[in-house]
Amino acid sequence: MNLLLAVLLTIPPVVMYHRVDAWSPNDSISQRLTISPTQFADELRDIHRIGLRTIGIDELVRDAQHEASPERAVLLTFDDGYSDQFDYAFPILQRYGDRAVFFINTGTIGTPRHLTWPEVETMAKAGMSIECHGVDHVDLGESNVAEQTYQIDRCVSELRAHLNESVLAFAYPSGDFDAETIGVEREAGVLFGFTTDPRFQTDARSPYQIARIRVVTGMDDAYFAARLEAARAFVSLTPSSVP
Ligand SMILES: [Zn+2]
């Protein structure tokens, strides 16, 4: 795995979603982060029209190992493990033959409005990447190393135990992490850290500081497509190897 990191080349554009629901929640933050099923389907069509293919974390690893070009790839990510992701996003992904990465808090699985283990297992079997968002939704940059280790190790081990698959990616709750977080991730076998950094560029030398395009409700189609194109242009400009 250290070899893999040494040859990691470029990170394709990454899109960050939270909730896809026919109903809008009451609080304003959730409202902003909840898009309609129609908006989500429109964005998948935009992605295909631009000529991109949606990949999982396994393909990201394979691309790195084979030094393949990720120029046609895009990663769709979903945070927080809400049940609407299974009810709305998952069937739309399947209808369009797409894949996505779901960052789950293992501590909230099976609680109201959140995914259940059978739902998580169904999505994993259908080709979705199930990755870590911590046990609870705590800000790691505000936590000591023992707490960070608990949040990362336990999330990784619970997902591994239930899904019998390797867990290679972690999304920082609220985008918050510090230098110690990356050491804990490495120890746990995590290869990729996803931030909430809204820049479309990801520095190829920082696989633990991956930027994501945040999608909000009502985001204009043309704006979404332009952000993807900009991210793609950056990927194709990124040096093809990291010394
Ligand atoms: Zn979150």
pLDDT digits (tens, 9 = 90+) for 18-71: 999 998 888 888 898 899 999 999 999 999 998 899 999 998 888 766 655 566
The pLDDT value recorded for residue 123 is: 98
Distance 133 CA to ligand 1 centre (A): 7
Distance 196 CA to ligand 1 centre (A): 9
Q: What is the pTM of this model?
A: 0.91
Distance 139 CA to ligand 1 centre (A): 10
More confident residue, 242 or 207: 207
The domain segmentation of the chain, as residue ranges, is 2-132+202-235
Q: In sequence order, what are the residues at sequence separation of 6 or more whose Cβ sits closer than 8 angstroms to the Cβ of residue 151?
A: 134, 135, 136, 138, 140, 143
The one-letter amino acid code at 80 reads: D
Is the per-residue pLDDT at 105 higher than 50?
Answer: yes
Quote the percentage of the chain above a pLDDT of 90: 64
Is the per-residue pLDDT at 182 higher than 60?
Answer: yes
Distance 96 CA to ligand 1 centre (A): 26
SS3 at position 41: helix
Distance 152 CA to ligand 1 centre (A): 14
More confident residue, 144 or 204: 144
Distance 232 CA to ligand 1 centre (A): 25
SS3 at position 155: helix
Distance 80 CA to ligand 1 centre (A): 5
Distance 194 CA to ligand 1 centre (A): 11
> Measuring CA to CA, which residue among 216, 214, 172 is closest to residue 195?
172
Is the per-residue pLDDT at 237 higher than 90?
Answer: no
Distance 1 CA to ligand 1 centre (A): 27
Which of 54-68, 135-149, 228-242 bottoms out in mean pLDDT, i.e. has the lowest? 228-242
129 beta partners: 101
More confident residue, 237 or 113: 113
Averaged pLDDT score across all residues of the chain: 88
In whole angstroms, what is the distance from residue 155 CA to residue 167 CA? 9
Q: How confident is the model at residue 82 (pLDDT cuts 50, 70, 90)?
A: very high
Distance 35 CA to ligand 1 centre (A): 16
Q: How far is CA 58 from CA 130, 151, 184, 225, in A?
A: 11, 23, 21, 25
**Superfamily the domain 2-132+202-235 falls into:** Glycoside hydrolase/deacetylase (3.20.20.370)
In whole angstroms, what is the distance from residue 133 CA to residue 30 CA? 18
The pLDDT value recorded for residue 4 is: 47
Quick: pLDDT tens for 198-232: 665 555 567 898 889 899 999 988 889 888 887 77
More confident residue, 72 or 194: 194
Which single residue is written with the structure tokens 């999330």?
A: 155
Residue spans of alpha helices (H) in the chain: 2-7, 28-33, 37-50, 57-65, 83-84, 90-95, 117-125, 145-163, 179-187, 221-237
Distance 81 CA to ligand 1 centre (A): 8
Distance 243 CA to ligand 1 centre (A): 33
